């Protein structure tokens, strides 16, 4: 079997789900700039094709696959297309997701719970399972799951989101134990508030949600998508070959602060118009 040290970086293939914008886009561009062939995945065709175009303009190589990770048939199709073009998948980054619903558990519709679980937890499982099958035949693989500090602490007003992210952390640990003997590592990254285009726009509007999040972070700011991309890339490298089954917090220390919970209680009790604006965005 071909081990990592025998395979050149520019021969490796990375599949990044939900890479049409935000965190996923930053990860896709990072891998492409360092010589990986990148499979860009998203449910928004224009967004995914735009990222692929960026990669190609910079001299990188890749492919865009339109697929909904919550649909197992589409996930299988995505991996089939990847194998057809590049022969295998060396790196899988499970990033696709949907935002929290800003709803207390007692008010949460069934559809909200089911949708969040379907995309975050089911989607991560479907992609991890397909990638693992391929990686086991080559004797090498790196899987990085994007979770959240909400999956570690729980977050008032985002019960479905926190539960899904907690499930991803446990799945990460189980997969790490099962796949480690095949030279496949599985890790997770748990960001706090991230400076995505949507959150940066909210900050510009003076959003109290962003303000309290940054104040509750010892470093005083959101984590950038590029910072997350750097850690994902490291976990996929030879240097991280014995890091396995970890959920790494990338939150500026926000996990040690609980002021957000009280803020969310106040927000939800007042039925703030801000919540409606977030849903529209």
Strand order in the sheet with 247-250: 61-66, 37-42, 13-16, 91-94, 141-146, 184-191, 247-250
Alpha-helical segments (H) within the chain: 22-33, 45-57, 72-86, 110-116, 123-138, 150-153, 159-179, 197-204, 208-215, 225-235, 259-270, 273-280
> Quick check: helix, strand or coil at residue 112?
helix
Q: What 8-state DSSP symbol labels residue 122?
A: I
For residue 93, list its beta bridge partners.
16, 144
**Helix, strand, coil proportions of the chain in percent (round to 5)?**
55, 15, 30
Q: How many CB atoms lie within 10 A of CB 281?
A: 12
Q: How many CB atoms lie within 10 A of CB 86?
A: 20
Distance CA 218, CA 143 (A): 29
* Contact between 234 and 240 (Cβ < 8 Å): yes
Is 36 known to be catalytic?
A: no
Distance CA 15, CA 131 (A): 9
Distance CA 107, CA 99 (A): 17
Classify strands 184-191 and 247-250 as parallel, antiparallel or unpaired.
parallel
Q: Catalytic positions, please?
A: 161
């Amino acid at each position: 079997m071909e081990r990592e040290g025998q395979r050149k970086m520019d021969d490796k293939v990375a599949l990044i789900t939900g890479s049409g914008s935000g965190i996923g886009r930053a990860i896709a561009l990072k891998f492409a700039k360092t010589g990986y062939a990148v499979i860009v995945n998203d449910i928004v065709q224009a967004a995914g094709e735009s990222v692929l175009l960026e990669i190609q303009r910079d001299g990188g190589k890749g492919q865009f696959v339109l697929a909904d990770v919550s649909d197992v048939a589409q996930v299988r199709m995505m991996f089939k297309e990847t194998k057809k073009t590049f022969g295998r998948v060396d790196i899988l980054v499970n990033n696709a997701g949907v935002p929290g619903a800003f709803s207390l558990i007692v008010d949460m519709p069934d559809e909200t719970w089911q949708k969040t679980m379907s995309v975050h937890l089911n989607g991560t499982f479907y992609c991890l399972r397909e990638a693992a099958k391929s990686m086991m035949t080559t004797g090498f693989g790196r899987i990085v799951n994007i979770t959240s500090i909400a999956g570690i602490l729980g977050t008032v007003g985002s019960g479905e989101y926190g539960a899904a992210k907690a499930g991803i952390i446990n799945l990460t640990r189980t997969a790490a134990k099962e796949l480690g003997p095949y030279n496949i590592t599985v890790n997770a990254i748990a960001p706090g508030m991230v400076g995505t285009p949507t959150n940066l726009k909210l900050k510009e509007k003076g959003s109290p949600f962003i303000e309290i999040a940054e104040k509750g972070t010892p470093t005083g700011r959101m984590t950038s998508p590029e910072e997350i991309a750097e850690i994902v890339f490291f976990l996929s490298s030879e240097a991280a070959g014995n890091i396995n089954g970890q959920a790494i917090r990338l939150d500026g220390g926000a996990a040690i602060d609980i002021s957000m919970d009280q803020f969310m209680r106040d927000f939800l009790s007042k039925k703030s118009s801000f919540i409606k604006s977030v849903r529209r965005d």
